């Protein structure tokens, strides 16, 4: 095998330098895109948090309404049962 000529070595070095520059450019572009995606994900995360916070507030409100009506029903049932027992005892 013959040793590489100086021209071949220069050509290989130029190609290697060009490849490294191109690789660096493409890596920089990819890093920028990744940064953009991270920013978008951060925005989506905050929207999801706000959505869940709103959902939780709605659940608390709905639970209170349900408890309020259940309590009213229990009071009504108590008085209806008391009236029925009173009517049966008087007879």
CA 79 to chain centre: 49
pLDDT score recorded for residue 60: 86
What's the whole-number mean pLDDT along residues 39-47? 95
pLDDT score recorded for residue 1: 54
Residues 6+ apart with CB under 8 A from 4: 12
The dihedrals phi and psi of 27, each to the nearest 5 degrees, come to -65, -40
Using a pLDDT cut of 90, give the percent of the chain over it: 76
How far apart (Å, rounded) are the C-alpha atoms in residues 17 and 4? 18
Indicate the range of 4-8, 17-21, 49-53, 54-58 predicted with least confidence.
Answer: 4-8
């Amino acid at each position: 095998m013959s040793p590489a000529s100086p021209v071949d070595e220069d050509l290989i070095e130029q190609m290697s330098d060009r490849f490294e520059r191109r690789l660096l450019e493409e890596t920089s572009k990819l890093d920028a895109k990744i940064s953009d995606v991270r920013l978008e994900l951060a925005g989506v995360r905050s929207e999801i948090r706000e959505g869940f916070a709103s959902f939780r507030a709605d659940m608390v409100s709905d639970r209170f309404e349900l408890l309020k009506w259940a309590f009213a029903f229990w009071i009504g049932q108590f008085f209806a049962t008391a009236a029925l027992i009173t009517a049966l005892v008087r007879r």
